[in-house]
Amino acid sequence: MKFKDRTDAGMRLAQLLEKFTNRPDTVVLGIPRGGVPVASHVAHALHLPLDIFLARKLGVPGHEEYAFGAVSEGEGWYFNDAVIRSAGITPEKVEEITRAAKATLDERARLYRHERPALRLEGKTTILVDDGIATGASILAAVRSLRSINIAHLVVAVPVAPRSTCAWLSREVDELFVVSEPTDFYAVGQFYEDFGQTTDQQVVTLLNENSMGIVSQKAEGGSLPVGP
């Protein structure tokens, strides 16, 4: 299966999540940057508020595309000790890379949200969305961070992820929704016809559009939940 683009992926994913439509106790979180367009279409289709949840993989020095771990907002983290040992990454280097990644997350949070506070997640059903999962390092860091706060129900929803990743990830969350679970998996982009990079401005625009849509529906007496 191939998705035309992230819009198509979000629309197909939303069909799997119809039971959450108009739920006042539910929020959608997109992982920037590529996960936000997918999450935006899910939030729009289900009439739910949208926010971001930042996660960033930690790349092996010199081979940054190969993750030895990941960090997320809050206290979320994941380290693959086997990769760290095999790559010969020192504890000092792990700390340096982790500190830089956390600083990047803080900077992006300020950029994307501006002065708008993050949605409150305590007691909520939280649907965490990305445009796909490969190794699962970043999503696991995000899951661990979300587990550290008192959310009611944790859902991960993605258009595509390898079957092997789905097998262990399903044990880490309350519910897992995946449109396609291929066994022949090299990279998320191979399952999209258009996998162009999402820009920071696109993320900001999508968040603003969702926020304004929620406020508008509330003013008209709709059933959408507003803000934190």
Show pLDDT as tens, one digit a residue, over the chain (228 residues). Answer: 899 999 999 999 999 999 999 999 999 999 999 999 999 999 999 999 999 999 888 999 999 878 898 888 887 888 999 999 999 999 999 999 999 999 999 999 899 988 788 899 999 999 999 999 988 888 888 998 898 888 999 999 999 999 999 999 999 999 999 999 999 999 999 999 999 999 999 999 999 998 766 544 443 444 333 333
Give the integer Cα–Cα distance in Å for 13 and 161: 13
Walk me through the domains of the chain, giving residue ranges and CATH numbers: 6-55+117-219 (3.40.50.2020)
Give the integer Cα–Cα distance in Å for 228 and 120: 5
| DSSP 8-class letter at 25 | T
Q: Quick one: which H or E segment has residue 145?
A: helix 137-147
pLDDT single digits (tens) 209-226: 987 665 444 434 443 333
Which among 210, 226, 162, 219 has a CA at the least distance from the CA of 30?
210
Q: Residue 142 has which token pair? A: 């995000």
Q: How big is the CA angle at 53 (ends 206 and 94), to the nearest 5 degrees? A: 135
